[in-house]
Amino acid sequence: MRKLIFLILLTSAKIVFGQEPHQKEALQVEELIEKNNPNLYKTIQRGGNFLVLDNYRNQKRRRYYVGDMFGFKTKSGDFFQEELSEIGDSTLTIMHYNNVERKLETWVIKVSDIRKVYRREVYKGIKWGLGWGSLAAFVPIFYDWIQFGRSPAQNTEALILIPAIQAGSIVIANRSKFFNGIKLNDNKHLKVFKSY
């Protein structure tokens, strides 16, 4: 009797939850692109330009489309982190808000004037990483004090390691800031491509 009930439950679960692969409807390539990367889809539909950051050393490409956030530094030292509003044949256009004059400015920048491109969003200041997690540097001192009765003032090896551990935690907390820039040189080029 148990085997019969188990067999009925097994077949009913297969009928209810099972779906044959040929009954699934596959999405078209355009629908997948529109769903996963709408800026790429808009560029393809209107036949616009897009930026490509080529890395010849490891053969990787990073693409930027109109509407993407793009952070870069020019050869004159100006820093921009704005949304791309237009990409021409050899220029790119961004809308930059001037805090001093309190107005929106349109900047047209040549691609050849860009010196450095940033992978992620750039923020000001340093994250110090001070919080409850930074107290973990004191764990060896407290362990020696509780387990072996060794006073924290006498434990000079651990006192030397605490600043080194804290400096390491600050570097780890700011790794996205310290290792963010891509300097354009012989191995890395920024180009404008046209989609057809």
Please write the tens of the pLDDT for every residue from 74-121: 999 998 899 999 999 899 999 988 889 999 999 999 999 999 999 888
H or E element that contains 96: strand 91-98
To the nearest 10°, the Cα dihedral for 169, 174, 175, 180?
A: -170
Position 76 in a domain: yes
In the chain, where does DSSP find H-type helix?
A: 2-17, 29-36, 38-46, 139-148, 156-173, 175-178
H or E element that contains 82: strand 79-87
Please write the tens of the pLDDT for every residue from 162-188: 788 788 888 887 877 778 888 999 999
**92 plus 164 within the same structural domain:** no
- Full domain range(s) for residue 45: 29-121+181-194
Q: Please, which pLDDT band fits residue 133 given cuts at 50, 70 and 90?
A: low
Q: Which residue has the higher pLDDT, 72 or 10?
A: 72
**141 plus 113 within the same structural domain:** no
Q: How many CA atoms lie within 13 A of 148 on its CB side?
A: 10
Position 5 in a domain: no
Position 18 in a domain: no
The closest alpha carbon to 120, from 57, 52, 72, belongs to 72
CB 56 within 8 A of CB 191: no
**93 plus 109 within the same structural domain:** yes
**189 plus 104 within the same structural domain:** yes
SS3 72: strand
**151 plus 97 within the same structural domain:** no
Mean pLDDT within 61-72: 91
With 0.75 as the threshold, say if the pTM is over it: no
Mean pLDDT within 133-148: 78
Position 23 in a domain: no
**36 plus 113 within the same structural domain:** yes
Position 108 in a domain: yes
**46 plus 97 within the same structural domain:** yes
Instruction: Return the residue matching tokens 């434990």.
Output: 155
Position 9 in a domain: no
**104 plus 143 within the same structural domain:** no
Number of domains the chain is built from? 2
